[in-house]
Structure 1
């Protein structure tokens, strides 16, 4: 237990320093126009995030005695899985609390994204707008970042960190809540709106994981969300703009 507490302290201090440095790095990245410099940041984040999240996951799972034999959905999470899979007519207090929590998460996410939705999917001004690739090489790196985030972040925030915190707190609810909040704070480089949005997204991913009991599914879901943000939404926005451009040109002539 002492070793576990020391490791948690190391993660708190190291995580705070890493997030602070990441905020500064992202602020600089937003000012870049040269694609070679942008690609350098993509590669740096790709390597750093893999080492940090996968490395921290391995150590955390080892300390939680869950590294081997590895189980993507440990038995300690089974009560939450059973609760979420109860029949719809079950109106117990626990089910209602989870339903309210999910509703609140969706409401926060919609509120944070409302202006973006009103702007017809236009990515300008969104917290992650700078990460949208501008050419094929950047696109390949952004795709790798999306896949890496789906794997590393979900391994850590959905499995390893809750397992470690469960061992210390002996409360699954506390372990999951702290993990979701940590997921949001890890995206502090997006600003406070980005933290709120990613916290809400983390809550929904957690419910998805607990409901289906599949770590692979939630990894894929996370990667798909990032791919939509970096590729699909900008493509739709560009298509909308290109369709409107001739009309605007006619009106301005």
Structure 2
């Protein structure tokens, strides 16, 4: 395979991250200072559009140009070596054990119960992202789904695949993607960076053990839904 196209796509994908992150610290500080509900909802809408443009669109276009759209449903061969040293959690018939999906949903329920009986602060500087009234709940839900889908498609599949194609080493791709994934959340402070890096590591391991991008999208989405939707709802935000 010619390395020209993967190289161009890699630079384009990194440019997308740069565009998405440009001025993020100052922008987030300004968002934290917002008290007007309309302005906050407009910012949520803008973030949804930017996330789609920076992550989802490049992934879809890039995979089409590479002729690798099948990677969305089946793990690329470039990842076989990395996946081979991880324990598989797939049934003999190739299906995911129901315990895995049940555990993910059970975690969401557990988070709701903890939110009801144990008032804890979220990890990292994310308080401003929590919905302040019921009109913002739908945006928090949309952000959770968007993050779960686009970030996993980009950081667990697309970016590692491009780097693996160019270097022949999937682990270089996963390590670089993990570092960028954590750095992308620097607006949350060091606690947030460490927490998201740890989450990214778990998602990487889960992807390699299941071979399913959709599973890690689901788990990531449920984690975000728990923090951005379930906890605020249990805290009574739906009454406002």
Looking at structure 1, the residues matched to 214 and 201 of structure 2 have their Cα atoms a distance apart, in angstroms, of 17
1:131 alignment counterpart: 129
For residues 179 and 60 of structure 1, do their structure 2 counterparts lie closer, same or farther at Cα, with a shift above 3 Å needed? farther
Task: State the distance in 2 between where 1:209 and 1:124 align.
Answer: 25
Is 2:62 aligned against 1:60?
yes
TM-score (norm. length: structure 2):
0.77
| Pick aligned residue for 1:141 from 139, 142, 147 | 139
Aligned residues: 206
> What residue is the counterpart of 1:96 in the other structure?
none
Structure 1 residues 83 and 223, CA gap change in structure 2 (3 angstroms): same
Q: Which runs of 5+ in 1 are unaligned?
A: 88-119, 240-253
Matches within 5 A, 1:30-179: 30-62=32-64, 64-67=66-69, 70-85=72-87, 121-123=119-121, 126-179=124-177
CA distance in 2, matches of 1:69, 1:202: 19
| Structural RMSD (CA) | 2.4
Shift in Å, 1:163: 0.8
Unpaired runs of at least 5, structure 2 = 90-117
Q: What TM-score, normalized to structure 1?
A: 0.73
**Higher Rg:** 1
- Distance in 2 (CA, whole Å) between partners of 1:225 and 1:152 is 14
Distance 1:177 1:137, change over 3 A: same
Q: Name which of 12, 17, 20 aligns with 1:18.
A: 20
Which residue of the partner structure matches residue 92 of structure 2? none
**1:9 Cα deviation after fit:** 2.7
The question of 1:196 aligning with 2:194 is answered yes
